[in-house]
Structure formats: C-alpha cells, structure tokens
Structure 1
Amino acid sequence: MVIDGVEVPEDGADHVDHVGELLQRVAAGDDTAFARLYDMMSSRVFGLVLRVLVDRSQSEEVLQEVFLEIWQSASKFAPNRGQGRSWVLTMAHRRAVDRVRSSQASADRDVRVGFRDLEAPRDDVAESVEMRIEGRRVAEAVAALPEAQREAITLAYYGGYSQSEIATLLGSPLGTIKTRMRDGLSRLRTLMGVTT
C-alpha cells in the first residue's frame, strides 16, 4: 500500500518507520532526505497547523518554522520512543499552539496599553483563559497515556489519520488500533475527571 508516496507494508509485514529513517538521515545532514521528508509530511503538517490557527498565512509561516526546527533538531528524535510521523506532528501541533498563545499575549498587551478596545467583553477573556487551561490539562493527560495509546490518539486527532491508516502506518491489526484508541480515550476521560 502507498501512503504519502511511500510504500507501507500491509498488516503482518515487517513495519518500517520511513519518516523515522528520514529523520535519522536529516540528523546526519542529508539534505536529500530532508527534501523527501518535506514532500512526504508537509501537507499533513500544514493541515494540522491550519486546523489550529485557521489563518492560512500564519499556517504557512508555522509550517516553515516546523521544518526549520526539524532540520535543526532531528538528532533529538528517538526511534525507540515512537514513530517519526508522531514526532513531527506533535512538534507541529506544539508550534501551532505556541503561535495561538503568542497572538493572544500580543492582543492582551495591546489591550493593556490601550491600542484595542478597552471594553472587550469579559466573557471572551474568561473563555480564552479557560480554553488555555483546559488545553494544558488535555496535553498533560495525553502525555500520561501508555505509548501505544498516545501514539494512536496523536495520529488520529493531531494527524487526521483514520483508524485504518493508523493500523497500516503502525503495522498493527485494525482491531488492535481500535482497542488502543478506545482504551486511551477511556483513560483520558478518567484522567480529565469526565463522567459519562
């Protein structure tokens, strides 16, 4: 099966982390590997960033920042701790969230010094603070999940992959991926104190 231009083994075949291999070559300074990595991952990264930021021009800037960071820090990728795709998408999500926080901080500063309407509805400010706190809680809860569950959930929610695509990417049976996601989401609800 071919995903993002890369031959990916079917279920049961030996699974190879193509993105991870490219990251290791990028860490060694291989610019051809970097170009292949960009071709393979840029549309996924851009889609993820655009979902977080909504603004297309800011998303394009963040896309470039993410790949600059990949070029500079590919040596930090640890293949024994997860898939390359998850590492790249997590980095992209973190960058996008940082951009949102930076924009909000800038807007807050402008309000404090009088550049914007001082009569901003307090509900908007309270809602923004609440969303940031909740986002932090979710990130901490996801980080507390076992690696297999965290990886499946990260690929689904940050990467936009279907359960079938995740099964193919990870070389695991579809039922296993469904179980990891179900158990991971159940554990997230418990960690977040959500009752059903």
Structure 2
Amino acid sequence: MPTAQLIAPPARPAGARTVEPWGTLARVERGPDEADAPRSAESLLSDVARGDDSAFAVLYDTLGRGVFGTCLGVLRDPDHAAEVAQEVWVEVWRTAARFDAGRGSARTWTLTLAHRRAVDRVRAVQAQRDRDQRVLDGSAEREFDVVADEVESALEQVRVRDCLGILTPTQKQAVVLAYYGGRTYREVADELAAPLPTVKTRIRDGLIRLRDCLGVTS
C-alpha cells in the first residue's frame, strides 16, 4: 500500500486540471478553485480507484477512525484491531473500483469491509484454537492410552508369572506350551510324550488355578 507523500508538482496554469503519471500510480492535480473545497468520500474513493494516492491519504484521514473503531468493536483488542484495519486499507486500495455509489455510501462500503474483515479474523482465530485443541486432546488421549496399556500389560505379565508359580511342574509346562507357545493340545501331547487326555486335564486344571489366582470370576 502506498504511503502519502507531499511532492510539489510542476507549476501549471491557474485553473488547470491534469493527471501526471507517478510511478505506477496517477496523481491528480487540482486547480486552486478545487484545492480547498471539501471532498466527499465517494469522490475520494473514485480517485483512489484510478490510482490517486493523495486521494487515498485523504480518504484514510476521513474514515480511518471509523474503520479502526469498527474493527475494535468486533475484536476487542487494540493490537488485533490495528492489524485488521491495515488489511482493510490494503483491500480498499486494491478494490476501490468495485465501489458502486448506487448501492450505498463510500463510508458504508468501507466500514462494511472493516466489519467483514474483523469477523473473518475472529472466525479464523477460533478455528485455529479449535484445531489446536483437537490436536491437544487427541495427543493427550493417545499418550494416556499407550501408557495405560503398557502399564496394564506389564502388571498382567507380572501377575501371570507369579500365578504360574503355583502350578505343578506338569501343569505349568502344558499351559506354557499351549498358551504361550501357540501349540495345539495334540502338539503339546506329542512334545511331552504324554497321552492327549492327560495333557488336556493338566491344561484344564492349570487354567482353573490360574483363574483363581488372577481373581477372574467368569
């Protein structure tokens, strides 16, 4: 966004009205009969649309307080309001040609831009907070679940190991082969060189004792 600079234009005949190129902008020079006449915001905005940075500076002086006040009323924070107000003036500079005097005043158009920008900022901030909270909640839940599962698994392993100690050697051997070795009853029987019914009985009795030791009621 350009900054208003007071640059003395070349001398012109009295009453002359010309347009001088000024960088990428156009500076409108007015004659003495127009210099002191108060200008409407509509007129200023029209010149801003043609790239007149001096008209932009006057428009800023005319409506700047209203733009900031509108932003502050929505955001309730002077720093945020000042930041959004700056964005509003950038938008005014870039989109001045879209202003339609038939649909309302230049003041209303500019303050509507300010209100819309401020509301957008509130929504954006709230949306970011919601995203951050979801990430935080999800992260906390995952961390808790992982820790809880690890602790529960570790405690369960300790309890099972302790309870295995109360089994008879043959019961323990059969249970470990079947449930920790992944073998079938027939494979356990073959490995222990014991009859299948005997192995089934050892495993059944061993599981009953484990159940009672671990406090499993069903």
TM-score normalised by L of structure 1: 0.50
Structure with the greater relative contact order (CA < 8 A, sep ≥ 6): 1 or 2? 1
Choose 1 or 2 for highest CA Rg: 2
TM-score normalised by L of structure 2: 0.45
